[in-house]
Amino acid sequence: QPLKQYAGSHKWDNQVRLINNGAQPAKMTFHQFEDQLAVADNGNTVYVWDWKKQSRLSKFSNGNPEGSKISDMKFINEDDQGFLMTGSSDGVIRVYRNYDSDEQVELASSWRALTHM
């Protein structure tokens, strides 16, 4: 993180990229090491972008039941084989592997973290 010190003490007033998600973003998270940005809309769709190249890597449904939405997202295990984890308002956690490939996105695991939802 060579620019960590600079970023903490200077204005962030330069537009680096402009990405049209096609839907209003509700949640966003940046990958710590890769040029990846995950964006969730107000429903159950996840978009993964290469923000440096301004190209969409994947778009997939989180599988939420009607009336629920993605309430948080995190990249996990970022320094090795990374996964994308989503938490939804229905109390379910989902973990995806190959989240950056439209053809290979795979639900690796899911569980109900909050049983009284």
The CATH number of the domain holding residue 95 is: 2.40.10.480
Number of structural domains in the chain? 1
Classify residue 107: in a domain, yes or no: yes
- For residue range 76-88, list pLDDT tens digits in order: 999 999 999 999 9
Structural domain boundaries enclosing 106? 24-112
Sheet containing strand 70-76, strands side by side: 70-76, 83-88, 92-97, 106-112
Instruction: Give the C-alpha separation, 113 to 117, whole Å.
Output: 9
Instruction: Give the C-alpha separation, 108 to 86, whole Å.
Output: 12
Classify residue 13: in a domain, yes or no: no
For 7, the enclosing helix (H) or strand (E) is helix 4-9
Q: In this structure, are residues 58 and 102 in contact, taking their beta carbons and an 8 Å threshold?
A: yes
Q: What is the pLDDT of residue 117?
A: 57
- For residue range 7-63, list pLDDT tens digits in order: 788 888 888 778 888 889 999 999 999 999 999 999 899 999 999 999 999 999 999
Q: Is 102 helix (H, G, I), strand (E, B) or coil?
A: coil
116 has a pLDDT exceeding 80: no
